[in-house]
Amino acid sequence: MRRHPERGAYDRATIDAILDEALICHVGFVNDEQPFVIPTIHARDGNTLYIHGSPGSRMLRNIKEGIDVCVTATILDGLVLARSVYHHSMNYRSVVVLGRAREVTGRDEKLRAMQCVVEHVVSGRWADARQPNEGELKGTTILAISLEEASAKIRTGPPLDDEDDLALPTWAGVVPLTLEPRAPIAAENISAPPPSYATSYSRRP
């Protein structure tokens, strides 16, 4: 935040929109003084961020007492090519959430959190899929973090070159980037056409 204070944005609507659009997040935690960063799936439900905890088995060792985490979600929007090497940058939107993660243990909250996570990834999918049974519910770990301590950082727009460099012949501009779906690939023995949430998938709201 110090180097580019203008990139800081803190209103909750901005933070929520980034968390909702970002497909995955990276969860940071400390184990025996060593930091770990694990990619996982998240979903926001009001003021709570749920994350799928199973990938980070190290994270779960002391989870009963809660664990300090940093959850960061980043959306890449483009490459910023400036005339000078120094002013090259990326357009992006990111959110950093600091907080103490608790394990979701209540059956109702856990089921609802799982629904949020599935719907976050593919809106409309929950109702179509076979619902979790009791064993699967127990076999799934969901962590919850409050969004109280969340902040966003955003860079947008063209490169910002030094005045002295504007006359250089170097091309400058932005290469926009988006996460794009391609045609769905059906599993073996599936003959029905893919549902519309698969054929017209988009992260854009």
The CB-side HSE value for 84 (13 A sphere, CA atoms) comes to: 10
Least distance to a second copy, CB of residue 114, Å: 7
CA 158 vs CA 36, 87, 91, 104, 164: distances in Å: 34, 11, 9, 43, 17
Element at 27 (helix H, strand E): strand 24-31
Q: Distance (Å, rounded) from C-alpha 177 to C-alpha 22? A: 14
Q: What are 170's two structure tokens?
A: 């170097």
| 3-state SS class at 83 | coil
Residue 30 beta carbon to a second copy: minimum distance, rounded to whole angstroms: 5
By C-beta, is 108 or 182 nearer to a second copy? 182
What is the C-alpha separation between 4 and 7, in angstroms, rounded?
6
Of 65 and 188, which has the nearer Cβ to a second copy?
188
Q: How far is the CB of 148 from a second copy (least distance, A)?
A: 14
Tokens standing for residue 110:
């856990």
Residue 53 or 144: the one with the smaller Cβ distance to a second copy is 53
Of 33 and 108, CB closest to a second copy: 33
The secondary structure of residue 194, as a DSSP letter, is P
Q: Which amino acid is at 98?
A: L
DSSP letter, residue 193 = P
Q: How near is the Cβ of 166 to a second copy at its closest, in Å?
A: 7
Instruction: Output the smallest distance, CB 24 to a second copy, in A.
Output: 7
CB closer to a second copy out of 44 and 52: 52
Residue 20 CB, nearest approach to a second copy (Å): 16
Nearer to a second copy, 49 or 172 (CB): 172
Q: What is the DSSP letter of 131?
A: P
